[in-house]
Amino acid sequence: MADHRLRESQTIHALATPLGRSGIAVLRISGPGAVSVVRKLAPFLPAEVESHRVYYGHLESLLMEAHRIDEVLLTPFLGGRSFTGEECVEVSCHGNPVIIDEIQKELIHAGSLPAEPGEFTYRAFMNGRLDLVQAESVLSVIESQSPFEKANALKQLGGAVSQQVASIEKQILHTLAHLEADIDFSTEGLETMSSDELISSLKQVSREIDQLVAGYERGRVLEEGFRVVFAGPPNVGKSSLLNLVLGENRAIVTEIAGTTRDTIEAWTEVNGVRVCWTDTAGLRETADVVENLGIDRVREQLRRADLVFWVSAPDVMVGEDQKDLEWILRERPDVLVFLRNKADLGEAAVATVSGAEAIPVLQGSVRSAGADLVERIRESVALRISATGAGESVVISRARHFEALTAAKPPWTRLWGWRGTASVANFWRCP
């Protein structure tokens, strides 16, 4: 954002509701001259306006003589009692793009500048209304697409993560103060905190940081969604399963092996968490260049997946070359479930690779018992989501938070085993 300090002394405005036609639209004006700017267009405002009171009237044009712009409601927020911490006025007008555009042109003529992206939140941060974590969560609240994602974003906006971090910081400062006192008075034989107390305090800090770091995976699931992949050989019913789960014909289904050439994604919700269901190309050895490109994308999906249903069927030959199944059994067995489709045709043999016998198995038929099979698939997904702890408590959901907390935890391992009888200050003199 250019010219920060110069712009901070300016009054800015922006549309606070989505652009388009609607019954009502809201424009927000913020800055030291917000009321005086709006007053130029709203002669009905009294000489002394009250904060958080709604005023009704008509906006009059400055650019056109005797021209009425629109019938509006004006709500002033004074004394720093606004989102930005500045003097602020919200204009509620009719949601017609023509009216909105006209009002914004009039505001510019009255002395207000169009706000840059994120500038209202930036001012709230600079004025101490929000800390950085809360400022980041504003966008998360706006863009959240599931109940748990929205709830977690609101908790972050309310300061839940910030409070936990502040508590950790307070513990560290408390321990550091005692440690410095021990160093200052070490020659006098005084000790304000024993080695056991020091270790106990730092262990507590370490545990709390670990809890926040461990919560990043749950936060990632809330932020990005839970990713489910249907993978396996061609013609085993992966596309049919996707269509059945979605309740619509999203993927093309034919008897021809290799029909699906690319990944197909669709989103639903399971227990308040967004779930991305992915149909993939059949995994096999082929000379087809396009099909091989699709298979490469399958392997990328397998690396990113939170749950993989490896689909097989008794009427499809499973080749000896099962390197993709071997890879996932070796690298990510915790996300794998065998799904034996077309069970009404016989037994589907997929457990021919070492380690496969330990993988959970679902068995059913899309054709004869599709509803029952889908229900068990959804139960498996719900169980895995529950295992992540998503939605149970406030969690960090941004890579910046994860990296900062990880960096905040130094290698204290040697401290846990240290049990000197001398002053705590001697710890810092150990080799």
pLDDT by residue (tens digit) across 36-80?
999 999 999 999 999 999 999 999 999 998 899 999 999 999 998
DSSP codes joined into one string, 223-261? HH-EEEEEESSTTSSHHHHHHHHHTS--S---SSTT---
Q: Quick one: 4-128 is in which CATH superfamily?
A: Probable tRNA modification gtpase trme; domain 1 (3.30.1360.120)
pLDDT at 292 (0 to 100):
63
Q: Token pair of 121, please?
A: 């939140």
Residue 386, pLDDT above cutoff 50: yes
120-129, 306-315, 361-370: range with lowest mean pLDDT: 361-370
pLDDT at 237 (0 to 100):
85
- Say whether 225-388 and 4-128 share the same fold: no
pTM: 0.62
8 Å CB contact between 339 and 311: yes
CATH class held by domain 225-388: alpha beta
Query: DSSP character for 19?
Result: S
Average pLDDT over residues 212-236: 83
Distance of CA 16 to the CA centre of its chain: 22
Domain ranges of the chain: 4-128, 147-216+410-429, 225-388
Residue 243, pLDDT above cutoff 90: no
Report d(CA 44, CA 57) in Å as an integer. Answer: 6
Share above pLDDT 90 across residues of the chain, in percent, rounded to a whole number: 31
pLDDT band (50, 70, 90) for residue 236: confident
* Placement of tokens 């889908």 in the chain: 374
pLDDT at 431 (0 to 100):
33
